[in-house]
């Protein structure tokens, strides 16, 4: 099986490693060439100097897997591939693209007879060791053709990947997955904050996290990771309370609004990330001023 992997960031590079170790022949291209050289030297990846070079090094039908940032970088690669590929070839977008954009990409490529698959990919930096969860959208015959690749990337050949529907369904499923992830993370954060705040009990957060990992209804991989870092540091004094959002949480709430489906937990989790980024600061200042104005309550300035 031959495939080109375009975009060798943290996740893309580990996917290349897993594919090479699984006896998939991988051609790799990345804008920064250092990782290409490393993978070529250590994993047997076939290096490419450009997207065109990667295509040239593949047998037909050519399969190109994109692991690029969503938006303009992915769109530019799709446009370039239209000029480089021909009918029967397949493009896979494994990044965090909006499912509506994926539908558009599929339509554009189909006009040239080129197949398109959107593969929502979860697993993060642990995917190399544990495998990736792959939520795949596309035509059945195209998905069938790339099954060997999916089976190597997944935790096992028969689990951890699924053809969930037509083009767009893969990234739609991943979008909702990430929205749920936001809510779960926020619930854990709030719960452990309450545990930490009960100072008179002197609770051992690492002990409790480890306890909950076994037979509790709230056990999960997120809890496993939480238990790991709490075992090293329960105060987190050196951590800035800033949580980024990748965009998929916003898309999930947009979808809830479009469907008219209530998703208050997911929405609040997203809004709490905004608050952590300082986007609640001005509103909180206004609240303090209003409280002072009607009740005469003292204001707390930055020096107090």
DSSP run (H or E) holding 90 = strand 90-93
CATH class of the structural domain 168-196+246-304: mainly alpha
What is the C-alpha to C-alpha distance for residues 138 and 96, in angstroms, rounded to an integer? 16
Neighbours of 188 (CB within 10 A): 18
Strand 161-165 vs strand 46-47: parallel, antiparallel, or unpaired?
unpaired
Residue 304 has pLDDT above 60, yes or no: no
Residue 97 has pLDDT above 90, yes or no: yes
pLDDT of residue 21: 97
2-167 and 168-196+246-304 in the same fold: no
Annotated active-site positions, please?
A: 174, 181
Instruction: State the angle between helix axes of 99-110 and 72-84 in degrees (0 to 180), rounded to the nearest 10.
Output: 10
Domain ranges of the chain: 2-167, 168-196+246-304, 204-239
Mean pLDDT (the chain, rounded): 94
Confidence of residue 232 (pLDDT cuts 50, 70, 90): very high
For residue range 213-228, list pLDDT tens digits in order. Answer: 999 999 999 999 999 9
CA 259, 260, 263, 264 dihedral sign is: positive
Phi-psi region of 113 (alpha: psi -120 to 50; beta: other; left: phi over 0): left
pLDDT of residue 241: 86
| pTM, two decimal places | 0.92
Confidence of residue 303 (pLDDT cuts 50, 70, 90): low
Architecture of the domain delimited by 2-167: 3-Layer(aba) Sandwich (3.40)
pLDDT, average across residues 284-299? 82
């Amino acid at each position: 099986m031959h495939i080109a992997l375009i975009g060798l960031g943290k996740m893309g590079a580990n996917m290349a490693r897993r594919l090479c170790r699984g006896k998939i022949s991988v051609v790799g291209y990345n804008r920064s060439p250092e990782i290409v050289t490393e993978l070529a030297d250590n994993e047997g990846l076939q290096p490419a100097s450009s997207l065109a070079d990667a295509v040239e090094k593949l047998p037909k039908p050519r399969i190109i897997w994109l692991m690029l940032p969503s938006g303009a970088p992915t769109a530019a690669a799709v446009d370039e591939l239209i000029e480089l590929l021909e009918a029967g070839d397949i493009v896979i977008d494994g990044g965090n693209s909006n499912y509506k954009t994926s539908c558009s990409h599929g339509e554009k490529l189909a006009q040239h007879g080129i197949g398109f698959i959107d593969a929502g990919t979860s697993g993060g930096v642990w995917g190399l060791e544990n495998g990736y969860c792959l939520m795949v959208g596309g035509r059945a015959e195209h998905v069938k053709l790339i099954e060997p690749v999916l089976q190597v990337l997944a935790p096992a050949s028969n689990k951890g990947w699924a053809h969930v529907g037509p083009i767009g369904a893969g990234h739609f499923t991943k979008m909702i997955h990430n929205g749920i992830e936001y809510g779960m993370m926020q619930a854990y954060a709030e719960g452990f904050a309450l545990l930490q705040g009960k100072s008179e009990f002197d609770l051992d957060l690492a002990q409790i996290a480890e306890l909950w990992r076994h037979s509790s209804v709230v056990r999960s991989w997120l809890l496993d990771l939480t238990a790991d870092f709490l075992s090293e540091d329960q105060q987190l004094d050196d951590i800035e309370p800033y949580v980024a959002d990748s965009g998929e949480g916003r898309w999930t709430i947009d979808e809830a609004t479009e469907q008219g489906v209530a998703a208050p937990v997911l929405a609040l989790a997203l809004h709490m990330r905004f608050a952590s980024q300082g986007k609640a600061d001005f509103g909180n200042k206004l609240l303090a001023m209003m409280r002072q104005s009607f009740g005469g309550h003292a204001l707390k300035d930055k020096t107090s």
